């Protein structure tokens, strides 16, 4: 039984080492995230429906609104979905089944700038460069450092 245990342990160790090497080899670095974001945004800017602000925030209007536009100091109620540029969803009020309300000046800079362009009832898609998102720190396990992000935002109410 000792030989069986030793063999099983050796196989387990080899698999663990192999998985670790595979994970490290396929890790995305902050530099790779930054380069991918820059390339994505440069290509995205070529689309005729994309508008770009002086800060580098890109957006497209999905549905125009007709209500009030918020100031940075207002609170807003929104439905939203956030994804990385490869399409991986990291947050969604739609998935939770309830809109979110928060002060607009307490979120990432890309949101503060972009949502001010909207009117109540509007739906926009924002393409946010890393420096207007979470920058070099990233956010949690799903948003790496220097990651550009995409948000679909529906402005429900300005308060």
Model confidence over 4-22: pLDDT tens digits? 444 544 444 444 444 333 3
**Which of 91, 127, 128, 156 is the catalytic position?**
91
128 as an active site residue: the answer is no
Q: Considering the domain 28-158, what is its CATH architecture? A: Roll (3.10)
- Split at pLDDT 50, 70, 90, the class of 28 is confident
5 as an active site residue: the answer is no
**Which of 50, 90, 94, 152 is the catalytic position?**
90
102 as an active site residue: the answer is no
74 as an active site residue: the answer is no
Quote the tokens at residue 56. Answer: 């580098």
12 as an active site residue: the answer is no
Q: Is the pTM of this model over 0.85?
A: no
The overall average pLDDT reported for the chain is 88
What is the average per-residue pLDDT within 34-40? 96
Distance CA 125, CA 114 (A): 9
Domain segments of the chain as ranges: 28-158
Q: Are the beta carbons of 128 and 149 closer than 8 angstroms?
A: yes
């Amino acid at each position: 039984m000792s030989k069986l245990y030793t063999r099983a342990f050796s196989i387990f160790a080899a698999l663990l080492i192999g998985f670790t090497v595979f994970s490290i080899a396929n890790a995305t670095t902050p530099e790779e995230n930054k380069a991918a974001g820059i390339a994505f945004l440069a290509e995205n800017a070529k689309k005729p429906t994309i508008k770009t602000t002086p800060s580098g925030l890109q957006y497209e209007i999905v549905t125009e609104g007709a209500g009030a536009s918020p100031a940075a100091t207002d609170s807003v109620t929104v439905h939203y979905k956030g994804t990385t540029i490869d399409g991986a969803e990291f947050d969604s009020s739609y998935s939770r089944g309830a809109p979110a309300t928060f002060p607009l000046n307490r979120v990432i800079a890309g949101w503060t700038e972009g949502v001010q362009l909207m009117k109540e009832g509007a739906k926009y898609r924002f393409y946010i460069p890393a420096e207007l998102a979470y920058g070099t720190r990233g956010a949690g396990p799903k948003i790496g450092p220097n990651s550009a992000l995409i948000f679909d935002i529906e402005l429900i109410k300005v308060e």
